[in-house]
Amino acid sequence: MSLAVENGSELERRLTLTIGAQEVETQVDERLGRLSPRTRIKGFRPGKAPLSVIRQHYGPDVRQEVLRDLIEKRYWDSVTEQSLRPASAPSFEMQPAEPGQPLTVTAVFEVYPDFQVKGYERIPLRRPKVDITEDDLALVVEKLRRQRSHWHPVERAARTGDRLFLDYEASLADGRAFKGGAGRDVYVELGSGREIPGFEAALEGSAKDEEREFDLIFPADHLQRELAGQRAHFKVRVREVGERHLPEVDDEFCRSFGTQGPEEWFEEVRDSMHRELVEAIRLRLKQAIDDHLLEKNPVGLPRTLVEGEIRQLHRSTLEQLGLEAREEIPDTLRARYEPAARRRVALSLIYRELVRQLGLTPDPARMEALLTAVAAESENPDQLSSELRSDPRVRQDLERLALEEQLMDWLIEHGAPEEVPESFASVLNLNPARPTESNA
């Protein structure tokens, strides 16, 4: 066998393998010979068919198996010999060969970029300095009350913050119906921003039993590609206007959170606020570190990895919206996903290389803590923990997550922090509750 390596694009490699015809024939004969004693062919006793007959029946399939195995083995042998680091599975291009002539196969694949991470020490970090106040506590309490809120029917006109109970039907400009174009017993919260642009605003001021008709244009990047940019006519019948009411912080309310009463509940809320603040500050520092490392380390990105991230982002988006997964991604959505996908891939490459440069290895205690935290979310933590420990893929994920946390700890510890006064609400991106709500 001989081989040659060519560079395609910056990260594409073309590995050309030449496999001798005699090597192929030898392996085909060996496999047919091993197959002979177990073969049943009509007209011959079991295992007694001549090799020429076995070749006639099974030769083409055996030859394909031999070629597949030889190509795969030689590919990996050659990758190791050339010290290549494939970032994608290869595609194979086979050139036609005359009987008895060598077979030429070209493997096309991308490799990981070869680089050294720079600028990872003394990264400038603006660390928020936060004092949690009673106003912060009141804001969080209001948010938690909203989680347990209920709705009371009202006879007035609907306004922002109200929830409408309605039926609707819609059709495109040419009169055609479309998937999702009709609904009954639907709840819509005005001002939530969950509906297509203009839908909630068109229902402001509506009242019980009122019917409204209006036209809207679906966004150009709408996930249902066939609706993107289309004008639709909506007919809506409002069956009820509901006003949000917030519960009092009493024993019953506190028990819904797993605490016995207001005193214990407020203590748990304060502890939770401290934990969330620590996590939010760490996330803020991580974002600053990520931005710095990306700026200091422009790196080539394997297109295969970027494409994989784009597809993962698309699948996640569809799952969140309860839509069916699709292979084809509209160009408008692809353009939206690509910056985030490129960022993820670039950071994963930088992390991977920096872990190698710093010589970090997964901390077993941290891996155990991560596994315990995941298992604790289930109804049977011990059973789930046992199942996770036996899955090698879970171990790989735990090692990766542990190394990412260890790396971030190292970068924060060796950074150049500057404390900056900031409010709790700002760090956690909390907004005050709307003033239109009522208490029970």
Per-residue pLDDT at 60: 85
| Final residue in a domain of this structure, among 229, 246, 263 | 246
- The answer to whether residue 365 sits within a structural domain is yes
- CATH at 95: 3.30.70.1050
116 located within any domain: no
Does 435 reside within a domain?
no
pLDDT of amino acid 95: 85
Give the per-residue pLDDT at 86: 95
| Whole-prediction pTM | 0.79
Task: Please state the domain count of the chain.
Answer: 3
User: 């009122």: which residue's tokens?
Assistant: 210
330 and 221 housed in the same domain? no
pLDDT of residue 436: 44
Which of the residues in the chain have pLDDT under 70? 1-6, 8, 432-440
Integer Cα distance of 431 and 139 in angstroms: 8
Domain extent for 211: 150-246
Are 293 and 421 found together in one domain?
yes
The pLDDT assigned to 89 comes to 92
